[in-house]
Amino acid sequence: MHEPAGDGDPAHAPDPETQRVARPWWLPHFLGRIPIGLEERHVALVGIVALAAVFENYDMSMLTSALKQIRESFGLSQSDAASLFAWIRLGAIPAFLVLPLADRIGRRKVFLIAIIGMSVGTLLSAFAQTAVQFVAAQTITRTFLVAATAGAVVIVAEELPAKNRGWGIGILGALGAMGFGLGAILFAFIDSLPYGWRFMYIVGGFPLLLLPRFRRLLPETARFKQMQAERAAGGESQGPQWIAPMLELLREYPGRSAAVAVMAFLFAAGSSPAFGLLSDFLQTTHDWQPSSYSLMALVAGTFGIIGNPAMGWAADRIGRKPVAMTAFGLFPVMALAIYFGPEAGIAFIWIPFTFVLTGANVLMRIISTELFPTSSRNTAMGWETLMETLGAAGGYALVGALTVSGTSIAPAAVAVSALTMIGVFVIWWMPETAGRELESTSSAGNP
């Protein structure tokens, strides 16, 4: 009888290009199958990075869900809350200085520091006694939240094969979106939770307890280690530099930097208010209870988050540009339908609304990581994040300015959402990067 070959027999070893690894317990079946060609280490990496992303999204979901309760505790109106949101989003600007450090001291170090920072900032938010204190605590939180989010995308992009990069970043976004689900569950009981919305922020400090696990399981990317070795061999300084990486990015890639800036600014300005103010709108205009919003976010949102891996998968096969252009173009249509459509249809519209929103965000991050070299990749994510921050703050400020105190924010939110359609033309100008290695997509000969 022929004995099966051992694991060490190269003639009978499984070919990773034709094998599909076993599905881990933490990857839901509704997110689709694992692509052929990925190794277990690739999937495990996505899983550990996504664990941090769950709490990143949980933190962001709290302000979105509990905005009405938070603003009322500080005595603010709806228009005041839109302005509060603008200041909070501007609080992420310091991340502009943190993210370039990952191109000098490593992806892993900055990612771990970001987890600590966002957890501490979340805990401080729970104890804020005034709106000013709350904004200050959220400034700390947002700075490290965006650093963690950008770092997660870069880590996955640098470690996964080119043909599956979109899938990996899409799954990262989908798993991270489950943090919104966790926030929605707690928000359903906000009226009975001890200390109300403040209790939700206390829960957001949980990642501090998981820090030893992140330190043990998260490796440094191979591309960064190779670049670090090349710098050391060439005698180049590897110490922290705050602004030099950003200046290098803008000098070497002016066209791409400008395109990424406009793309991120426009989509954030158009989409952030429409999504962030929706819970307050539903509770104020349609008299929804917190439990009703939570139920919609959990049930309909489960289908909506499939947009992350679905658009990542489509971008790997059809191309980044056509998928991103479609998402940018459709978002204002979804915003119009959810704000001015019949109340009975809001939960159904929420599915394509979140599908398009999350998918477009995934595409922006994929494009931003692929257009720049390893030496500037995290800096490029910092640049993209800065423009998102400014765009979101500008969008909220514009909605607040266009909304008369005591009236609905719906007309202004929908009007501002139309800005995303301008981004379609910006994406059309960009080079297509699907299916190409990062060294090819970011070659110096490109504009």
Confidence of residue 119 (pLDDT cuts 50, 70, 90): very high
Q: Is the dihedral of CA 248, 143, 146, 401 positive or negative?
A: negative
| Position 11 pLDDT exceeds 50 | no
* Mean pLDDT of the region 366-379: 82
CATH of domain 39-220+240-441: 1.20.1250.20
| Position 184 pLDDT exceeds 50 | yes
pLDDT of residue 389: 84
pLDDT in tens, 338-366: 999 999 899 889 888 988 888 888 888 88
Confidence of residue 58 (pLDDT cuts 50, 70, 90): confident
Domain ranges of the chain: 39-220+240-441
Judged by average pLDDT, the poorest of 61-70, 74-83, 269-278, 330-339 is 74-83
pLDDT in tens, 381-412: 878 888 888 898 899 889 988 988 778 889 99
In angstroms, rounded to a whole number, what is the distance separating the alpha carbons of residues 120 and 105?
Answer: 22
Confidence of residue 82 (pLDDT cuts 50, 70, 90): confident
